Structures are given as C-alpha cells and as structure tokens.
Amino acid sequence: MTDSHENNAFKKEKGIHTDFIEKMTYGDYLQLDSLLSSQKRLSNHHDEMLFIIIHQVSELWLKLIIHETQAAIDAINEDDLKSSSKMLSRVSKIQTQIIQAWDVLSTLTPAEYMKFRDKLGNASGFQSYQYRLVEFVLGYKTPFILEIYKKDPEVHALLEEAYHKPGLYDVAIQALARNGFEIDNDILNRDFSETYTENDSVENAWLEVYKNVDDNWELYQLAEKLVDVEDWFQQWRFRHMKTVERIIGHKIGTGGSSGVGYLKKVLDHYFFPELWGIRTKI
C-alpha cells in the first residue's frame, strides 16, 4: 500500500527529472562514489565500520569548523563583527554534532574494539591534522605537534602556516584595540607561534565591554560567541575522554599517548582565559 501511494505521488510530480544521462546527479555533485567507497576495513569485524565512519564524519565536521573559523578571523580583521558572530554561531552548532558522535561510538564495547584494535597499528586520532588546525586557529600552539606531519610536506606546510599566524582570539584582541581599548603592545605584537597567556590589559578591556554592553554591543556579542565555542570545545574534549575511558580504560593509546591521562590534562586548558575570568569580577 505504501509503495502504491508513493508511485502515485511520484507520477503526479510532472516536473521531476528522471533522465540524467547527460546531466549531473545528486551523487555526482557530492562525489558519493568516492565518499562511500572510502570505508575500507582492515579486519572482518562488523564494528570496525562504525569506528571508521564516526572518525571520517568527525573529520568532515572539523573541515567545516576550520572553514568557518578562518572566515570569522577574516571578518574580524575587516571589522565585520556581525558576520563573524554568524560564522561562530555555526561553529558552535557543528560542535554539538561532533559531541553527539561520541554517543554513537560509545555503543562499541571494549570486547568488540579489541577484536580489531591491533589493525590500527600506530594510527590514532591524536594525529588528526585537522584537529591540530582547529587548535592552531583558536590559538593553542604546540611546537612538537609539527613533528608528526613531516611525512606529508603539504600537510606540514599547512600547519606551519597556521602555527605562525594570529589565531581567533588574537584578532579579537586586535579588534578591541581598534575600538579604543588600551591593549599592551607586547600582546598586539607578540609571537603568534606561542600559546596565548593571560594579560591584565586584555582582561580590563573585556571587563569594560561587559560593563557597558550597549556601547559595545558587537564586541560583547563576539565575546559571547567565543565563550560558546570554548564551552562546546571543552564538552567535546570531555566526551572524548569519557568515551575512550569507557572503551579502553587506561590503556596506552595506539599513537603512544597516555590515553585517558593525556585527555584529562588538556581539559584544564583555556583558549580565551580572560573571558572566563571576568565573570567573577562583573
């Protein structure tokens, strides 16, 4: 009965295209042949497909986060704070999707994972260059990370460029200065290859923004979008850590890291420290 109704509805849609011999299809546009043939299991275990797809989907979302964040950086540099806020709102929504992916992966039990874990060799999510790019554009720079990517000169060059460029928070601080707030010169002209650390002049500027919201509405909105991004990023890190703990406990990671121990350490890092510190002082 359902098939009959669907066929009748289809026949009534006179404008639907069915001849694609010389036209681009949905599958052509999305290159689905390539995309859907990229899940190549190295074992015969059923659940390896889940493991591969979860990580591939996460990499696609990371690609979009990088795309949106870099565009937001460009917009802030052009003092187009409204556009940057829209882009960062999208980043936060994407982050919710990546967080929910851990819920799907957590259906993989320790016994199931151990059936194919040895096939991964030393491959690990720790080596995701897109994840490192996200950290770099947010301002968290770790020099030893670059060593991992010497195998691929193109990826290494991409990371090297992002490593030396100002991150999202750097350009937000520069926007504060352009709007008349006093920011220390050594912050505005700092070495962007170093991870940002807290500064009193930056804290005072943000505090002024929050105390005079009406006069600084766009900067205030930008600040709140930055807090959203960091909040969701920390939730993503936490769910990652708990999922790993649930599946492998405290085993050493396939990439050689301490696994859960390493993931717990990075939970304490803040990208935008002053935006959290001023909440106590407002």
pLDDT tens-digit map of 141-191: 887 888 888 889 999 999 999 999 999 999 999 999 999 999 999 999 999
In a domain, 41, yes or no: no
Q: DSSP secondary structure string, 184-215?
A: -HHHHT--TTSPP---HHHHHHHHHHHHTTGG
Is 252 one of the annotated binding-site residues? no
In a domain, 162, yes or no: yes
**pLDDT of res. 19:** 63
Whether 148 is covered by a domain: the verdict is yes
Instruction: Compute the average pLDDT of residues 104-116.
Output: 94
For 72, the domain range is 47-280
| pLDDT of the residue at 127 | 85
User: Residue 248: its pLDDT value, please?
Assistant: 85
Report the pLDDT value the prediction gives residue 221, as an integer from 0 to 100. 98
Please list, in sequence order, all residues whose beta carbon lies within 8 angstroms of the beta carbon of residue 251, skipping any fewer than 6 positions away. Answer: 259
Percentage of the chain beyond pLDDT 70 is 90
How many whole angstroms separate alpha carbon 175 and alpha carbon 76?
A: 7
**Residue 280 pLDDT greater than 80, yes or no:** yes
At residue 136, the pLDDT reads 94
Are the CB atoms for 240 and 230 separated by under 8 Å?
no
Residue 28 domain-assigned (yes or no): no
Q: Which two tokens stand for residue 195?
A: 């991870």
When pLDDT is averaged across residues 7-24 and rounded to a whole number, the result is 67
| DSSP symbols for 76-101 | HHTT-HHHHHHHHHHHHHHHHHHHHH
52 marked as part of a ligand binding site: yes
The conformational region for residue 218 under phi > 0 = left, psi -120 to 50 = alpha, else beta, is alpha
Q: What is the CATH number of the domain that holds 244?
A: 1.20.58.480
Mean pLDDT over 187-215 rounds to 96
**Most confident among 118-127, 130-139, 260-269 (mean pLDDT):** 130-139
The residue that leads in pLDDT, 280 or 248, is 280
In a domain, 22, yes or no: no
Is position 67 annotated in a ligand binding site?
Answer: no
Domains in the chain, number:
1
Question: Is 94 annotated in some ligand binding site?
Answer: no
Q: What is the mean pLDDT of residues 68-83?
A: 98
Nearest to 64 by CA among 34, 93, 38: 93
Share of the chain above pLDDT 90, in %: 73
| Ligand-binding site membership of 53 (annotated) | yes
Instruction: Indicate whether 235 belongs to any domain.
Output: yes
Question: In the prediction, which pLDDT does 165 show?
Answer: 96
pTM for this entry: 0.89
- 54 annotated ligand-binding residue: yes
The response to whether 183 counts as a known ligand-binding position is no
